Structure 1
């Protein structure tokens, strides 16, 4: 039976009225399991109106009371974690364990955001001038929006919403239409936690809904995660309409393996970081850069051994290492990249095309794929594949490896595996990438640091979560105060000075 989904507005489910729908698939079976409405511009404007109505009372609430509601929400998510993980897996295709990690990393940012009473404190200067005090305060923007991707249907919405709500804003979420059920369930849990109606809303849609959010003058800020071309479009369009924007795009994350590295540890890290979640992560390692021929030969041999033992299967099966990709179009795109690598002359060590899973023959399956002898001019190196495809690009020395990581168009994440502290320290200092791992393959910062890439991977001055999130979702007001002392000095026509 195909489920009919809805929007979530003003604390309740609302049926779509546009007459347009998108199919939501079970990636393991390749079959439609739900239909989600695609909002019209008018529907989006109604959602924004509900958010605008709810914001003043929420924004005026004591930050500690807002934090208590967020912590109650965390308790409810933990209560329903197994249900949420199963729902997420059923629409995305990632394994249950991976789905739990998706939810948990989102919850951690909400927990951090519950520190809003401290994070929203301003500054105070006593006697900045004769009898004059100065203080600053952080105030909410109003209505803000998040446009989030399919690959983390719980984590990224919570990365956006947690700090935004804690800071006193109301929030409109436009999740991916490929896996919208978990965002809708999160909205229900926010309501159950005591969040006032209209403070958190979910509107499902496509480009029409996105453009309506970008063009609505009541929306003060937009956060986005997705591909680089769309990130650029949203950033430019938001700026043209006077909005703040933080937009995160594509990635091509390298992992440098030095000759002194523990190669077994490095190979294990590559297998998990390259093929976990079928490679559908913006922080997945998609390029291995072994330094020196001996390192490369030994690494590729270890990767082949480990790939042979991988289990690709149903997302709910406990022994699956990873499941299907999210859609038939994703499978087609990934297989096209594999063929382009073959055509360009790369060595296809392991071919993931043509994989079938017993009982799930219609699913969107792509097996682990490994290329060796990849070069900088190949599309499989230049472009983001977003699938279980790992490319080995051999470097002659450390300097060449460093240049490869730094000169690539994308600058999201990077890692180096080495036992040498000098190499690690130099690499971390000089590499032109936003997030660096040292013997850590997926260097996603913990909730109280910020997440963000450089170059074509990120657009905007402030990153996600951490202290940057509160700077992004608030505006600073500075107040200069003097109380009359009974002494009248007359009018002054001179610019005030701090002295």
Structure 2
């Protein structure tokens, strides 16, 4: 059975261009697919529209029961899901398994948010009663990213379904395989046909889906793509857009209590998932002098010691970037900053030809020209040395983005001062910038999004409020 498109409960072969999922661990072909053509995309959207009325009118407790069954079905497939993620995009086996677990946990968290942020209530008034409820938008297009190809689209799909919407899901063409397992879980859970549909493919598939009769677009990815989508829907306030677009995230170190602890937080912030998280620290602001030097040396020692390699390598902690091309882009990013006057402290190294394997690098940009304000999705950290806290905050805020930031300090006053001045949606103290809770909103201002944060706040963009006065 060909598993390219899943439309109204039936798998079929895509009629668009073929493409391969290439393992960045060794360059081998993992899976081959055919993208959906325009007619198939229109069929998928039509199937979602046809399923919408019944699903939206299904009582909330029944929708909840089906989504709970979906979580159970995902749990049975955790290992298969992890393997699919790892083979497609290179995430080490241990980390892919944590992503599969997060997919299971997403259901309970989304149900809580649905009740607390998008539920219904009625209360007495002088003339009768006031009543508030929430209604779904309709057909949501979900575009999945490659770095969390299961967890992040799942974080849109689950709250959208709980609210009564239906879905057309386009996975990332760089990590398409997990979608099949997600559909298996939905089928086992008893989700009505047409409520979730899948179309595989690249840019052409995505463009055709944007042009289709959708009621909302839920997207996680680069700001270049997200802002293009925003322009596409200019003058279309009837289409809900939820855009999560990454960041050029700063990490300030000021009066830390422990050098080794600070170095560990920096390492995890900058290099977990080989730098392929939108919350990874891209810019490190360190004090000058011996303490700053000691912290930097400790981070370099961690880079040199960490085990890198293929996703299934023994004791591998950092897997490859998503492709060999991603390594080329990281090297170009590094070289551009050297040309701007950056002092290369630890170059990207240990590349394996034809793969995404690369050891992290660090560059000091303190006395360099101001580089372009861009996010590199890779393990490369830019360092600035600054003792003055106000100047450190200015460096941190010198970005068009506003997703994540961190402050490493043992001083409560420093924390209070900085947290009130940093313009980000996710701010952590003495913890990695990548630490985010599903029980909290996920997003930030500027080019990091369009004020539609996900996670706990996903319920907000999956339903609209209906206020009622009853006489």
Calculate the TM-score normalised by the size of structure 1. Answer: 0.89
CA contact (8 A) 2:341 2:369 kept: no
Per-residue deviation, residues 80-124 of structure 1 (Å, max 9, x unmatched): 211211111011101011112222333332221233455542243
Per-residue deviation, residues 412-460 of structure 1 (Å, max 9, x unmatched): 100001111111122112111111011111354322211002111112x
**Would the alpha carbon gap of residues 411 and 196 (structure 1) be closer, same or farther in structure 2, given more than 3 Å must change?**
same
Kindly state the Cα deviation for residue 5 of structure 1 after the two structures are TM-superposed. 4.6
Residues in 1 aligned to 2:342 and 2:179: alpha-carbon distance in whole angstroms: 40
Match of 1:480 in 2: 469
> Which aligned pairs between 1:238-277 and structure 2 lie closer than 5 A?
238-241=233-236, 242-277=238-273
Q: Does 1:396 find its partner at 2:381?
A: no
Residues in 2 aligned to 1:394 and 1:245: alpha-carbon distance in whole angstroms: 39
Kindly state the Cα deviation for residue 33 of structure 1 after the two structures are TM-superposed. 2.4
Per-residue deviation, residues 318-350 of structure 1 (Å, max 9, x unmatched): 411111111122111111112222222222222
> Which aligned pairs between 1:22-41 and structure 2 lie closer than 5 A?
22-41=19-38
2:364 to 365, 372, 391: 372
Per-residue deviation, residues 116-171 of structure 1 (Å, max 9, x unmatched): 4555422434224xx33221211111111111211110111111011001111111
Q: Does 1:224 find its partner at 2:219?
A: yes
Kindly state the Cα deviation for residue 353 of structure 1 after the two structures are TM-superposed. 3.4
Kindly state the Cα deviation for residue 375 of structure 1 after the two structures are TM-superposed. 4.9
Match of 2:321 in 1: 325
Residues in 2 aligned to 1:5 and 1:25: alpha-carbon distance in whole angstroms: 17
Kindly state the Cα deviation for residue 205 of structure 1 after the two structures are TM-superposed. 2.2
> Which aligned pairs between 1:159-308 and structure 2 lie closer than 5 A?
159-217=155-213, 219-241=214-236, 242-308=238-304
Match of 1:85 in 2: 82
Match of 1:362 in 2: 354
Kindly state the Cα deviation for residue 354 of structure 1 after the two structures are TM-superposed. 4.8
**Would the alpha carbon gap of residues 237 and 444 (structure 1) be closer, same or farther in structure 2, given more than 3 Å must change?**
farther
Residues in 2 aligned to 1:448 and 1:305: alpha-carbon distance in whole angstroms: 35
CA contact (8 A) 1:172 1:200 kept: yes
Q: Decide which moves more: 296-305 or 237-246.
A: 237-246
Match of 1:427 in 2: 418
Residues in 1 aligned to 2:30 and 2:84: alpha-carbon distance in whole angstroms: 12
Per-residue deviation, residues 155-213 of structure 1 (Å, max 9, x unmatched): 11111011001111111111101111112211111111111111111111223322333
Kindly state the Cα deviation for residue 40 of structure 1 after the two structures are TM-superposed. 2.0
Q: Does 1:442 find its partner at 2:439?
A: no
The alignment partner of 2:385 has SS state of coil
Kindly state the Cα deviation for residue 250 of structure 1 after the two structures are TM-superposed. 3.1
Residues in 1 aligned to 2:88 and 2:434: alpha-carbon distance in whole angstroms: 26
Match of 1:70 in 2: 67
Match of 1:493 in 2: none
CA contact (8 A) 1:279 1:386 kept: yes
Q: Does 1:463 find its partner at 2:453?
A: yes
Unpaired stretches in structure 1, ≥5 consecutive residues: 483-499
Residues in 1 aligned to 2:81 and 2:449: alpha-carbon distance in whole angstroms: 29
Match of 1:494 in 2: none
Residues in 2 aligned to 1:152 and 1:299: alpha-carbon distance in whole angstroms: 30
CA contact (8 A) 1:341 1:378 kept: no
Residues in 2 aligned to 1:305 and 1:387: alpha-carbon distance in whole angstroms: 19
Residues in 2 aligned to 1:195 and 1:11: alpha-carbon distance in whole angstroms: 10
Unpaired stretches in structure 2, ≥5 consecutive residues: none
The alignment partner of 2:145 has SS state of coil
CA contact (8 A) 2:256 2:262 kept: no
Rg larger for = 1
2:138 to 135, 142, 153: 142
Residues in 1 aligned to 2:99 and 2:202: alpha-carbon distance in whole angstroms: 23
**Would the alpha carbon gap of residues 271 and 127 (structure 1) be closer, same or farther in structure 2, given more than 3 Å must change?**
closer
Per-residue deviation, residues 374-403 of structure 1 (Å, max 9, x unmatched): 457343x73211111112111131111111
Residues in 2 aligned to 1:345 and 1:145: alpha-carbon distance in whole angstroms: 44
Match of 2:147 in 1: 151
Match of 1:13 in 2: 11
**Would the alpha carbon gap of residues 280 and 228 (structure 1) be closer, same or farther in structure 2, given more than 3 Å must change?**
same
**Would the alpha carbon gap of residues 378 and 117 (structure 1) be closer, same or farther in structure 2, given more than 3 Å must change?**
closer
Kindly state the Cα deviation for residue 363 of structure 1 after the two structures are TM-superposed. 1.9
Residues in 1 aligned to 2:38 and 2:290: alpha-carbon distance in whole angstroms: 59
Between Structure 1 and Structure 2, how many residues are aligned? Answer: 469
Residues in 2 aligned to 1:431 and 1:376: alpha-carbon distance in whole angstroms: 23
The alignment partner of 2:200 has SS state of coil
Per-residue deviation, residues 210-235 of structure 1 (Å, max 9, x unmatched): 23332333x11111111112111112
Kindly state the Cα deviation for residue 407 of structure 1 after the two structures are TM-superposed. 2.2
**Would the alpha carbon gap of residues 119 and 457 (structure 1) be closer, same or farther in structure 2, given more than 3 Å must change?**
closer
